[in-house]
Structure 1
Amino acid sequence: MRYLFEEYAFDTDRRELYRGADLVSVAPQVFDLLDYLIRNGARVVSKDDLINTIWNGRIVSDGALTTRLNAARTAVGDSGEEQRLIKTLPRKGFRFVGTVREAKRPAGEAVGDTPAEQPKPALLLPDRPSIAVLPFENMSGDPEQEYFADG
């Protein structure tokens, strides 16, 4: 599934986040956190919900959760002060408040294609023949084979 918000495309099949045509580097837990917040944007997600989903119920510090939330905000160009996409509701939880559109992958588009790739025109052949000359090096160390590199 592909989620579109602002200038971002969040692709859950490829586990990639794009800002326009640029790929945004996102750590796996941060990706999972964004995925959970986007999919549950209609409700407030509690700290316990995030710990159970992202960390599979393992005990984590508030600092670890805060670090991942800050990384998620940074990935989507948000901040803790601005909170235009990921809102913190004190003593309640978190909510993805950006306007999200779901975009299903077109039938002809493979999962391996990047969203920025467009069909490329075929290269035209030149009117006259071309040749490329590359230097060779005798990597065998045998001086009797030097004529291959010279030829």
Structure 2
Amino acid sequence: MRYLFEEYAFDTDRRELHRDADLVPVTPQVFDLLDYLIRNRERVVSKDELINAIWDGRSVSDAALTTRLNVARSTIGDSGEEQRLIRTLPRKGFRFVGSVREANEASTALAPSDDESSNRPLTVPERPSIAVLPFQNMSGDPEQEYFADGMVEEITTALSRFRWLFVIARNSSFTFKGRAIDIKEVGRKLGVRYVLEGSVRRRRARSASRGS
């Protein structure tokens, strides 16, 4: 996956960061930190979660974490004072707040098009890859859509914590919401080996009364 923000291109498959046409040197640990924050940019990542993901749960001091974050910011032209791209939320965690575009989205046929290039299959990453599609709401209650969508978002978030697994972002998967789809075609369009789909039904709790 290639993430584009400002003048940068962040390539997770090649593990490269480019600023325009120039390759930006970045250490593996800082790359992993940026990767995790960018992939989880829709939410705040806690300090403990970040340490567990990047340092495999090893004991890391706040100073060491701050140092890595400052290096990550500096690598992408940000700073601790400005926090234009990586923001620290006191007592909550960190979040990548820059505007990001996934390069694959530009070449994925998410809508009918006469452009033949939009139908070209994407390159499937070498590591295991998966897309979690919106679940079908089987309750018959439109108000339960948020429950089905929330469940998909939780599953996507949980899967994204595995660094060896390539997970398609929620905004890409949800372009298929409410559409009749072919699983093989979805996998081809999103460039993944596996596609998870499902349905969910939420039953309301019933209260029972007993007469005397």
**TM-score scaled to structure 2, two decimals?**
0.50
Residues 16-54 of structure 1: CA deviation (Å, up to 9, x unaligned)? 100000111111110000000000000000000111000
Partner residue in 2 for 1:137: none
Alignment of 1:1-150 (within 5 A): 1-104=1-104
| Structure 1 unaligned spans of 5+ | 112-151
Give the drift of 1:63.
1.2
**Counterparts of 2:20 and 2:93, CA distance in 1:** 29
* Displacement of 1:14: 0.6
Residue 91 and residue 108 in structure 1: after superposition, are their counterparts in 2 closer, same or farther (change >3 A)?
A: closer
What amino acid sits opposite 1:26 in the alignment?
V
Counterparts of 2:62 and 2:29, CA distance in 1:
15
Distance of 2:36 and 2:61 partners within structure 1? 19
Aligned AA (1:49): E
Amino acid at match of 2:5: F
RMSD: 1.8
Identity within the alignment, %: 78
Q: Which structure 1 residue ranges, 4+ long, deviate > 2 Å from structure 2?
A: 104-109
Cα distance change on mapping 1:108 and 1:101 into 2, 3 Å:
closer
Cα distance in 1 for residues equivalent to 2:38 and 2:57: 20
What residue identity is the alignment partner of 2:89? L
Deviation of 1:64 (Å):
1.1
Distance 1:42 1:95 in 2: 8
Classify the secondary structure of the residue corresponding to 2:70. Answer: helix
Query: How far off is 1:108 after superposition?
Result: 9.0
Shift of 1:62: 0.9
CA distance in 1, matches of 2:17, 2:43: 22
Deviations 1:88-129 (A, max 9, x none): 0011100000000001288698x9xxxxxxxxxxxxxxxxxx
With over 3 angstroms needed to count, the CA separation of the structure-2 counterparts of 1:102 and 1:81, relative to structure 1, is same
Aligned AA (1:2) = R
- How many residues are matched? 110
Given residue 35 of structure 2, which amino acid in structure 1 is its aligned partner? D
Measured in 2, the distance between the counterparts of 1:56 and 1:108 equals 31
Consecutive unaligned residues in structure 2, runs of 5 or more: 108-119, 126-212
One-letter amino acid matched to 1:14: R
Structure with the bigger RCO (C-alpha within 8 Å, sep 6+) is 1
Look up the SS of the partner of 2:3 in the other structure.
Answer: strand
Which whole-Å CA distance do the structure 1 matches of 2:31 and 2:64 have between them?
Answer: 15
Report which of the two has the higher share of helix.
2
